[in-house]
Amino acid sequence: MHEYVDELSNTLIERYKFYLQTFLVDLWSERGLIEFRVGYSLRRDSKLHTRTFTVSAQETLTTAERLAVVDALFAEIEDHIDETISATLVELN
């Protein structure tokens, strides 16, 4: 799963390369939970934006289910980045 997360991270970094200064994803599994800790900063303000997504490990029993959850989480991460970029652009206007 780490390789898949790395692949999605690299794709996201490439997609937002003109906006992102830093992007980090930490995958953590403990006590029946899977956590994705995300941090990024935009080139415009260099402010660190963080978010943690937690999913029950029982909901992801098969490899296909785990990959589907990772895909959904990366869609959420992308939405979060889009919102941050939009808010920054509104502030500039």
E-strand stretches of the chain: 20-30, 33-42, 48-56
Task: Please report whether residue 93 resides in a domain.
Answer: no
* CB atoms inside a 10 Å sphere around CB 81: 21
For residue 74, give the CATH number of its domain.
Answer: 3.30.160.40
User: Residue 36 domain-assigned?
Assistant: yes
Position 47 scores a pLDDT of 92
CB of 30 within 8 A of CB of 7?
Answer: no
Note the pLDDT of residue 59: 65
Domain-located, residue 41? yes
- How confident is the model at residue 65, as a pLDDT? 84
pLDDT at position 60 is 64
Residue located via tokens 């490899």: 63
| Tally of domains in the chain | 1
* Residue 31 included in any domain: yes
> Does 91 map to a domain?
no
Average pLDDT of each block of 10 consecutive residues along the chain (93 residues)? 91 96 90 88 92 81 84 94 89 67
pTM of the model: 0.84
Name every residue whose Cβ is closer than 8 Å to that of residue 36 and which is 6 or more positions away in sequence: 5, 25, 26, 27, 28, 52, 53, 54, 73, 77
Q: Which domain holds residue 66?
A: 2-84
